[in-house]
Amino acid sequence: MTQKQKLVIFSGAGMCAESGISTFRDTGGLWEKFKVEDVATPQAWTADPEKVQHFYNQRRKQILDASPNSAHLQTAEFEKYYETTVITQNVDDLHERAGSSQVLHLHGNIRQAKSSGPNQERKLYPIEGWELSLTDTCDEGFPLRPNVVWFGEEVPMLETAAKIISKTDIFIVIGTSLNVYPAAGLIHAAKNDSKKIIIDPHANELNAPAGFEVLKMGAGEGLKYWRKKMENLF
């Protein structure tokens, strides 16, 4: 039996646009309505935890109301043909709900909470509904905060992600403006002889490094197009 090729899908907010979840930096995006420093930094949490909690509760509600789109479903289907890993900057669980079994969340998972005290990494607490309250506490009595990586915080899964990307045969980047580091730097981790593709309607405005095939399309359409090209496999 021949070994399956390795495939990494590296996704950003554009992956979920067709599920009705707005991106961060497009026109009308989330960061036009909110200031990063008010809702997505450790300082924001210290200054006004209620505001931060409310912001993420609204995001969680929207995610729970949304469904995986064609791009999430196609990504999950790739597992039949490739040894597939999803590396996502997204904090939603739409890849998992679409059926992907190997999903690495670089920026955390909004459906989980962690302690806001000193031992944040000790335990994750699943959040059942959409609402997390400041009266919900960890085992040590500190308020629970969303398990998301805020600006200014470390990205604990970065090295693991870079290692996986450096070994992949096919690397597909979908729906990320490549603005937020260190995650955006992962685009350089793929090996020279791997097949590298970027799918994004604004792809030509992104600084795609040499060697990438650029598909200026939405996520679902771009994946369909690429699958057709690989039709000997499908």
Q: Which of 9, 10, 18, 223 binds ligand OAD (CB under 6 A)?
A: 18
Exposed/middle/buried for residue 145 (C-beta within 10 Å: 0-12, 13-18, 19+): buried
CB of 158 to ligand OAD, least distance (A): 12
Q: How far is the CB of 151 from ligand OAD (least distance, A)?
A: 6
The answer to whether residue 202 forms part of the interface with ligand OAD (CB under 6 A) is yes
Least separation in angstroms between CB 14 and ligand OAD: 2
In DSSP notation, 136-176 reads: -B-TTSPBEEEEEPPTTS--TTHHHHHHHHHT-SEEEEES-
Catalytic residue, chosen from 72, 95, 105, 107, is 107
Distance CA 1, CA 228 (A): 24
Which C-beta is closer to ligand OAD: that of 47 or that of 140?
Answer: 47
Of 7, 9, 40, 186, the one binding ligand OAD by CB under 6 A: 40
Tell me which amino acid residue 65 is.
D
Residue 208 CB, shortest distance to ligand OAD, in Å, is 11
Provide the minimum distance between the beta carbon of 202 and ligand OAD in the complex, in angstroms, as a whole number.
Answer: 4
Choice from 85, 112, 116, 176 touching ligand OAD (CB under 6 A)? 176
Assess contact for 93 and 111: CB atoms under 8 A.
yes
CB-nearer residue toward ligand OAD: 139 or 152: 152
* Stretch 51-70 residues interacting with ligand OAD (CB under 6 A): none
Query: Is-catalytic flag, 107?
Result: yes
Determine, following the binding rule CB under 6 A, whether residue 75 of this chain makes contact with ligand OAD. Answer: no
Residue 92 binds to ligand OAD (criterion: CB under 6 A): no
Pairing status of strand 170-174 against strand 195-199: parallel
| DSSP string of 60-105, one letter each residue | HHHHHH----HHHHHHHHGGGTSEEEEEES--S-HHHHHT-S-EEE
Q: Is 177 in the site for ligand OAD (CB under 6 A)?
A: yes
Stretch in the footprint of ligand OAD (CB under 6 A) among 60-68, 73-81, 97-105, 195-203? 195-203
| Kind of pairing between the strands at 125-126 and 144-148 | unpaired
Q: Phi-psi region for residue 71, left (φ > 0), alpha (ψ -120 to 50) or beta?
A: alpha
- Number of residues forming the site for ligand OAD (CB under 6 A): 26
Q: Which residues bind ligand OAD (CB under 6 A)?
A: 12-14, 17-18, 23-26, 29, 40, 89, 107, 149, 151, 174-177, 179-180, 200-202, 218-219
The set of catalytic residues is: 107
